[in-house]
Amino acid sequence: MPIPATVGRRAFIASAAAASLTSLGVARAATQWKLGYPLPLNSQFGAAATAFADELARRTGGRFTIQQFPSSALGGEREMIEGVQIGTHDLALVSTGAIPNFVPQVAVFDLPFLFRDYAHAHAVLDGAIGTEMLERFTARGLVALAWGEGGFRHVTNNKRPIAKPEDLRGLKIRTQENPMHMAAFRGLGANPTPINWPETFTALQQGTVDGQDNPISVIESSKLYEVQKYLSLTQHLYSPALFLVSPALYAKLSKADQDALRAAARAGAAAMRTRVAQDELSGVQNLKQRGMSVAEQVDKAPFVAALEASYKDFNQKFGAENIERIQKVR
């Protein structure tokens, strides 16, 4: 049946009007996604989120924008991950602290003294091992876009300087809800106490725990110098971070937009590493100026030796060959 001429004219006029509006820069409203993360905007997480948002807007012509929710505004890390998993949250940028509760194999990256330095960690995460691990998230109802970076963790406390494993004995140390972190501190004689990040500052302030461990950038941006006296540069654990997206949201996107999302996450991860490197250079001096007593030259060998028994358990849990594969990456 032929289309009436009036209908054809109306369709033509509507099409021409839409083209005219587009040519004048009047585009359809952008789709906005919410991105939550645990630390303040002025942190490596904030730097990553901002770079991610900028790159996503650039690659999609502004069709997708990001609303940031820093400082655990959408909940603790476990709550954000669960929200992404069930689709009530769009995106999350989190540490691996709570990730083993969802993807147990990721816990291998949290083994104490596994990574030699930042170059080693980056080579592992950017290579085949890191890619294989990202792919494991799909089976757990999550889409992992890229590895970011929290940094190497150091111990702070209010009791005494930490120069050797014996100095940790009896100290109540706040940890993430991460079995490897807790096992490491138990092996070193401390009493690990899992506390959600939003509650940590108050727990330290009130003496519920004696200390905690975090990268320099986190210690500084979260103002832990206000509630902690001693900092020891133990570099005992490396803390990766992850960009996660809701599978329901991801599945609705075209292949081109999925690729843009992953590329934006990689740009955010690069910005995160840059910020961590900058904070490492200036942060220790800044924390000294804030009144912290800093033990800079910490001999790691006694700490590694103290964890020998723990590593037997780690080898059994993750497979000695898998741990060795990571250690051999150059």
**Residue 321, number of CB atoms within 10 A of its CB:** 8
Please list the pLDDT of the chain residue by residue as tens digits (330 residues). 444 444 444 444 444 444 433 434 445 689 999 999 999 999 999 999 999 999 999 999 999 999 999 999 999 999 999 999 999 999 999 999 899 999 999 999 999 999 999 999 999 999 999 999 999 999 999 999 999 999 999 999 999 999 999 999 999 999 988 888 999 999 999 999 999 999 999 999 999 999 999 999 999 989 999 999 999 999 999 999 999 999 999 999 999 999 999 999 999 999 999 999 999 999 999 999 999 999 999 999 999 999 999 999 999 999 999 999 999 999
Q: How far is CA 43 from the centre of its chain?
A: 12
Token duo for residue 181: 């972190």
Reported as half-sphere exposure (CB side, CA atoms, 13 A), residue 99 has a value of 27
Query: Cα(1)–Cα(18) distance, rounded to whole angstroms?
Result: 27
Whole-model pTM above 0.95? no
Token duo for residue 259: 């690729």
Report domain extents, the chain: 29-328
Q: Quick one: DSSP state of residue 142? A: -
Which class is domain 29-328?
alpha beta
